[in-house]
């Protein structure tokens, strides 16, 4: 009897085995690809890698299988990869969330909250992802790097006499035949970076995804500086705007306050893309 009691007590003292962290992750959006790489984990599959390489400067793992478009990923390709976690943003999961859950557990991110800062939302989603894949400590180190980068760049701008300057962020938003611009609004992650660098908003308003699509005439409302961000293949669209006489008469243009940042500065990414934006914007203004 004493032996039996002793054996039972020994069993009770042994901690329950923790469930293994996911290793076969499928990413439906680019920010997850970037963030998993920062966490030291390569997803087995991801959507639209050609687009990632066009728009995103943050490095990504090699060898991932393409699972189709971000808007309509292939459920068959995803299932064939035998994932143990699928990560998808809420705005892309409305049509197929139930089907994805039949394949593997699903982590739904929320990058565009109805209110509050999209940069804060990015940090929350990054922490949730780090926890989900068992890399919480590494995730916190990445976020400390982000905080240190913003502080360092803020100090550089202050030393250069740019503290308090107003800056608007813009990317192409139309076509070659009908050029338009996306102006990033105050609730966007890009505008939050501007403020955290000790600068001010050069564009007003708020929008669901953090930007408003406008025509050339709207640039007359830009205060301070304007930063254009676009890949080389969009140069013709920007040229369609900058060659117009109305553009050349804009106050921000006449003041020589227009700057161009690297076209692969992705404005909807995670901590790494955010650090790149902060560094490149600081370099452009100093």
CATH number for 198: 3.40.50.1980
In a domain, residue 156? The reply is no
N-term to C-term CA, the chain:
80
Among residues 109, 143, 176, the one where a domain terminates is: 109
**CB-based contacts of 72: which residues, under 8 Å, 6+ apart?**
95
What is the band of 233 on the pLDDT scale with cuts at 50, 70, 90? confident
Residue 62 structural domain: 25-109
**Among 235, 258, 112, which Cα is nearest to 172's?**
235
pTM of the predicted structure, to 2 decimals: 0.89
**Residue 249 shares a structural domain with residue 166:** yes
In a domain, residue 118? The reply is no
Q: Report how far residue 179's alpha carbon sits from residue 218's, in angstroms, rounded to the nearest whole number.
A: 13
- pLDDT value for 91: 92
The 10s digit of each residue's pLDDT in 255-281 is 999 999 877 889 999 999 999 999 999
**CB-based contacts of 33: which residues, under 8 Å, 6+ apart?**
27, 43, 46, 49, 52, 56, 60, 61, 64
The 10s digit of each residue's pLDDT in 69-96 is 999 999 999 999 999 999 999 999 888 9
Task: Pick 241 or 163 by higher pLDDT.
Answer: 163
**CB-based contacts of 232: which residues, under 8 Å, 6+ apart?**
263
The 10s digit of each residue's pLDDT in 183-220 is 999 999 999 999 999 999 999 999 999 999 998 889 99
In a domain, residue 81? The reply is yes
Q: Work out the mean pLDDT of the chain and round it to a whole number.
A: 90
Question: Apex CA 257: angle with CA 255 and CA 263, to 5°?
Answer: 150
In a domain, residue 129? The reply is no
Strands 211-214 and 181-184: antiparallel
CB 83 within 8 A of CB 26: yes
**Residue 165 shares a structural domain with residue 103:** no
Among residues 89, 109, 129, the one where a domain terminates is: 109
- pLDDT value for 176: 63
């Amino acid at each position: 009897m004493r032996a039996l009691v002793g054996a039972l007590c020994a069993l009770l003292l042994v901690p329950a085995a923790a469930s293994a962290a996911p290793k076969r992750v499928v990413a439906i959006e680019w920010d997850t690809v970037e963030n998993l790489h920062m966490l030291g984990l390569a997803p087995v599959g991801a959507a639209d890698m050609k687009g990632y390489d066009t728009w995103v400067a943050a490095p990504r793992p090699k060898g991932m299988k393409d699972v189709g478009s971000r808007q309509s990923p292939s459920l068959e390709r995803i299932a064939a990869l035998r994932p143990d976690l699928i990560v998808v943003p809420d705005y892309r999961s409305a049509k197929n969330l139930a089907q994805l859950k039949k394949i593997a557990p699903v982590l739904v991110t929320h990058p565009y909250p109805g209110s509050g800062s999209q940069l804060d939302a990015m940090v929350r989603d990054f922490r949730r992802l780090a926890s989900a894949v068992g890399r919480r400590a590494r995730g916190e180190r990445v976020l400390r790097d982000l905080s240190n980068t913003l502080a360092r760049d803020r100090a550089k701008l202050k030393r250069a006499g740019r503290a308090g300057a107003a800056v608007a962020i813009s990317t192409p938003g139309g076509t070659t035949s009908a050029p338009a611009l996306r102006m990033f609004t105050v609730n966007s992650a890009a505008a939050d970076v501007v403020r955290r660098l000790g600068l001010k908003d050069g564009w007003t308003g708020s929008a669901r995804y953090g930007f408003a699509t406008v025509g050339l005439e709207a640039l007359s409302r830009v205060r301070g500086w304007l930063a254009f961000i676009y890949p080389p293949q969009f140069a013709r669209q920007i040229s369609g705007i900058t060659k117009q006489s109305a553009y050349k008469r804009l106050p921000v243009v006449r003041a020589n306050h227009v700057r161009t940042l690297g076209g692969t500065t992705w404005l909807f990414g995670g901590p790494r893309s955010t650090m790149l934006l902060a560094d490149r914007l600081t370099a452009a203004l100093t």
